[in-house]
Structure 1
Amino acid sequence: RTADLDTGLIERNEAVLFPPPAPVGMELIALAVAALLAREIQQRRIDAADQHSPWTHAGAWRLNGGASRTLRFGCGEQVLDVTLDSNERGSTLIYADQAAPFAYTCQADDLRVNLGTRRAHGQVHLDGDEFHVFHGGRHATLAWLDPLAHAGEAEGEGGKLTAPMPGKVIAVMVEAGSTVARGAPLLVMEAMKMEHTICAPADGVVSEVLYGIGEQVAEGAQLLAFSD
């Protein structure tokens, strides 16, 4: 009414309008871990000829002890590390200097987590590697930082696709002039009794294939020439 106007409202109230994100607590992390484990179970390969094969179980049992797995999530600019220790007696979740027994049940995207004396119930919606966790009236987006998921993408630096270690070429899926999409398998190496698939770092063209099937390659050797 008095036309006493200014544009400083947001600046004066910045602390109220843009509060710092609340820390990610044990319950939120536990729900994200539960969702990750549930997804891995769904994606597990089942042998139709032997549905009870131990190779498809992928559980925590080890011949001489338990299993320890470090999981990493991103939340904004934060990197959150959580350790899951498992043995025949059960699992323990270790996060932010806290340790708690860990067990969960999953029904679709509805999860219930048991952390010893604490319980957590929430929903986790998966969007690729992003976990949208809803718990206690709060929503947090956690990005699953899988160290293997994008390992092949870094091998295309400068248009070069190189051998990660000494080994032998056992398969070549492209030839010079092939147009490929990002992530497409180009070549497979065998090294240290493991297979390594070299993938296209981006959409582009394979300009040259430098090694053939059966040839030995040294660590760091350029395998293919590639252009975006």
Structure 2
Amino acid sequence: MDDVWKPPSYESQQPASTPSVWPHTPAAGRAGSRVPLVVALGVAVVGVVLAVVGILVTGGETAGYRTWHQQSRAMEPTYPEGSDVTVRPIDGSGVRRGDVVLFNARDWGADSVFMMRVIAVGGDHVVIDEPGRVSINGKALREPYLFKSGPYFTPPVEVTVPEGQLFLLGDHRTLAADSRAHYEHNGTIARSAVVGMAVDHASVPSPDRLWMWVGAATAAVGLVAAAVAATVRHRRTGLTPRI
């Protein structure tokens, strides 16, 4: 019975090919949408680093600076009595002629900290005549910082500063109890007694606000971009294929 009807085989009922509903697999879509999010977060991290570095680098340089309240007239007119002076901590090794320093006056028998100007360093030959004119190593010292009090007279001084020592004078020569007042012991103090140096307040480093603001702006842009990328990715991965 060759004419008996036979149902078509299962294979014959299957289409030749099944079209894909989605052109890309969900996994591939999720992987691709992660890139903008990662980039945006990277931008935010870079911004935070710029802001932090801008603050820390210069902020570290300001550590230790302090304010000295001048309580005498010895350094007038440079630092009048009652003025606040910005002081940078130093150990005395880098002190040079002309620097105004703070030092412990134990070498002068006083358990106090004074502020005076370095006139000579170790090896210098100092001569002060009766009218108060100062010479260092045979050359007259030009002193535009002195208090203009007119001619004054002082006992003559002649001393060679020992190595590792400093010879100091006040800018108000008629009032300062400086190295001249301790001449019987050569009037010097040890470099190691120096605890700080007076500096111009404007020279004190401050946090680099340019980099701080650039970093903050970059971080903000990165975070906003990351939020947008995360939202877009969530919407894409949350779609249901159409039937």
TM value normalised by structure 2 = 0.20
Ranked by relative contact order (alpha carbons within 8 Å, sequence separation 6 or more), the top structure is 2
Determine which structure has the larger helix proportion and give its number.
2
Q: TM-score, normalised by structure 1?
A: 0.21
Counting strand residues as a fraction of each chain, which structure ranks higher?
A: 1
Greater C-alpha radius of gyration: 2
